[in-house]
Structure 1
Amino acid sequence: MKLRYLLAVLCACPVLAQAEIYKAVDADGHVTYSSTPIKGGKKIILEPLPTSVPPARPRSAASPEDFPRVDGATQRNRDDARRKILEDELATEQKLLADARQKLQLAEDTPEVYRGKDGKTYRAVARYEENVKAAQEEVSLHEKNVEALKTELSKLK
């Protein structure tokens, strides 16, 4: 029971929790802080920290009164223009994807060869794989672009 009273008194008295702080700077400019007096040190007096937090300003979901507003017809026109632009980009990207797939097919079907000094024909496997990989990356890029455009179109009202 006595321990509870002692604990309550210690919590109610924040002054007991504060310590004195001393600061010393040596010849090399090194700063040292301590809770005990230091030779050549000065006592630092700190302002107590605020114990209460100011209330946060409430945020309203509505726009400010002076915020420019757009009527429904103007917004529909903007949305229609955006849809048209996205559809045009999608059509272009799908054409580029078809071309990239044709290039990939051609790269896969056309082996790279070279003639050696002895007159024989050899396959250039590294060059072939490099061409196929570049074509695959181009196809992948256009597929991602098509998916992104379709996603954007699906988000429109």
Structure 2
Amino acid sequence: MWQKNFAIASVLAALFTIMTHAVAGIYKLVDENGHITYTNTPVKGGQKLQTSSSETRVVAKAMTKAPLTIGGFPKVTDSQQKKRDINRRQILESELASETKHLVEIQQALNEAIKNMRSAANHNTQLLPDTDVSENENINKLRKQISLHERNIMALRAELGNR
């Protein structure tokens, strides 16, 4: 008897986990330096990009109406799912456009910083020691930001490719 109850509890826990993940959506986290990271798992301080209050209500309502079985997932009509998919795609495409714009801006800033550093070196300009160090730190910071935006763009493209 306890084995049957344990099996049922295990199935219910697995289904709850799957359903929770199914409505999890995409989260956007902006750190104190303005760096943006996207993830499909909830993070402290993250903003959920896909509105899913109706999705969450559907899942919660389905869970309270009847015991869940393997086939007990909430159903949505094809037109409802299509609307959700279109909305999600628009959000992802908007975020991709924003990330691409930021990447281009930071790449331009990096190119300008490198150009200025080379120009100063070519003109044998006497730089203060702190200036040279801060220029290198600025270039490293810009390179890290570029790397972050490139990772975000890859993640967004991968997610768009999954739909």
TM-score (norm 1): 0.53
Q: Which has the higher contact order (CA 8 A, sep 6+)?
A: 2
In the alignment, the residues of structure 2 paired with residue 84 and residue 151 of structure 1 have an alpha-carbon distance, to the nearest angstrom, of 15
Counterpart mapping for 1:12-51 below 5 A: none
In the alignment, the residues of structure 1 paired with residue 91 and residue 143 of structure 2 have an alpha-carbon distance, to the nearest angstrom, of 27
User: Which stretches of structure 1, 4 residues or more, deviate above 2 A after TM superposition?
Assistant: 52-61, 120-125
1:122 to 106, 115, 127: 127
The yes-or-no answer on 1:54 pairing with 2:3 is: yes
Equivalent position of 1:131 in the other structure: 138
One-letter amino acid matched to 2:141: A
One-letter amino acid matched to 2:114: E
Cα offset, 1:53, TM superposition? 6.1
One-letter amino acid matched to 1:136: R
In the alignment, the residues of structure 2 paired with residue 144 and residue 76 of structure 1 have an alpha-carbon distance, to the nearest angstrom, of 28
Equivalent position of 1:106 in the other structure: 112
Q: Is the 8 A contact 1:107 1:135 kept in 2?
A: no
One-letter amino acid matched to 1:101: Q
Q: Kindly tell me: are residues 81 and 53 of structure 1, through their superposed partners in 2, closer, same or farther at Cα, counting changes over 3 Å?
A: closer
Equivalent position of 1:70 in the other structure: 76
Calculate percent identity across the aligned residue pairs.
31
Equivalent position of 2:154 in the other structure: 147
Equivalent position of 1:13 in the other structure: none
1:18-75: CA deviations, max 9, x gaps?
A: xxxxxxxxxxxxxxxxxxxxxxxxxxxxxxxxxx9633435442226xxx42111101
Equivalent position of 2:95 in the other structure: 89
Which one has the bigger strand percentage?
1
Secondary structure, in 3 states, of the residue corresponding to 1:63?
A: coil
Which one has the bigger helix percentage?
2
In the alignment, the residues of structure 1 paired with residue 140 and residue 7 of structure 2 have an alpha-carbon distance, to the nearest angstrom, of 56
Gaps of 5+ in 2: 12-68
TM-score (norm 2): 0.52
One-letter amino acid matched to 1:128: E
Cα offset, 1:83, TM superposition? 0.5
